[in-house]
Copies of this chain bind each other. A is one copy, B any other.
Amino acid sequence: MLTSRLRSPQTSRLTVLALLAGTLATASGAAAQEFQDLKKPATPLVLQSQGSFTVGGDIVFSDALGTGGSGHIAVNQMYVQYKVPPSSRVPVVMVHGADLSGKSYETTPDGRMGWEEYFVRKGHAVYLPDQVSRARSRFDPTVFNRVHSGAALPGAQPLISRFSNEEAWTVFRFGPTFGTPYPDEQFPVEAMDSFAKQMVPDLNAMLHAPNPTHKALSDLALSLKGAVLMGHSESGRAPLEAALIDASGIRGMIVIEPPGGCGMKYTDQQIATLARLPILIVFGDHLSSAPRDWLGAFENCKDFIARVNAAKGDAKMLYPPELGIHGNSHMIMQDKNNLEIADLILDWIDRNVGTKVTSF
């Protein structure tokens, strides 16, 4: 109902903002709504195995733990939840973007099936990490506690990144200004409050280069004896970076909307490494309308594709508007047509990585 009102051309921006404010203000009401919004699938989901584990990590000494004073703690590990169907095509590792967690690929903000479950239902084991230092992968609290106690200066602790709802709306291309969606917008903007509740403080600024997530992804692919790596936004280039560490476990790379583009600074030798694997780049719609230079990133990735293919690689662009599919946002895995987009990606995997099915 809110959707249709949001989409009605008669609805003024102020009305939409008032509606959103109303939705956002009723906290427990919204909570109940979120639960009630959950869609039940028509058929059961059958899993051979599921659970979680961590990859990588270092044991370091901390002199500033809140309760325990000092001692050793684990840092830099990557939490991964996994779901394996009874017979499995190539595993897919789905990595989330800035200020987000693995939740990006679970149930959508308006209660529909996410890519995690959909890919599993299509026969792929899915591995869903939280980036190192984020959410269940956790960050090192030491510097914050040292600042609290005066043992370090305030500037020693990093700025913690988190998008405001207003910024997410335009940067993620839900619409031209906060509260106003694009006429053909595919993101479920009526669930903006629910999406806001997925936002996680982003502590990547405190990670030392190289980002430990990249090594963890490369190690995970090796453990899986072959996996497709998918990265989104902040982690968009993570599959490429993982392959440059060790490509031997990686069977394909899916790069979704990396800010700044696909990385034209790679050396010819690095491009030669990347050219050994199939690569799919994905961008949504309205690229020239947002405050961030998504069009520049898109053009940069087209140049990257040309460079990889000139090195006898196999890189392709999935740009839905070219297929007559319009209105996709930066959160393409949560858009209303998310399963239609997923089918295009699954088809690319079948054609470029393989259709081999392994029975366990």
Contact = CB atoms under 8 A, between A and B. Distances in A.
Contacts of A34: 53-55
A57 interface: yes
Q: How big is the A interface, by class?
A: 35 or more
Interface stretch (A145-153, A305-313, A323-331): A145-153
Nearest to A161: B66
Interface in A242-294: none
B66 A199 contact: no
A166 interface: yes
A150 B25 CA distance: 31
A82 to B, nearest CB: 8
A163 B65 contact: yes
A39 to B, nearest CB: 8
Interface string A127-143: 00010000110110100
Contacts of A183: none
A162 B65 contact: yes
Contacts of A79: 103, 197
B164 A70 contact: yes
A40 interface: yes
Given A40-B49, A45-B50, A46-B46, A65 B223 contact: no
Contact of A138 (B69, B81, B135): B135
A18 interface: no
A215 interface: yes
A338 interface: no
A107 B52 CA distance: 6
Contacts of A86: 44
Contact of A158 (B55, B148, B150, B201): B148
A157 B144 contact: yes
A200 interface: yes
Given A38-B53, A54-B194, A136-B136, A205 B66 contact: yes
19 contacts: A27-B57, A27-B58, A28-B215, A31-B56, A31-B57, A32-B219, A32-B222, A35-B55, A35-B223, A45-B50, A52-B107, A67-B161, A67-B163, A68-B163, A70-B164, A74-B197, A138-B199, A147-B157, A149-B154
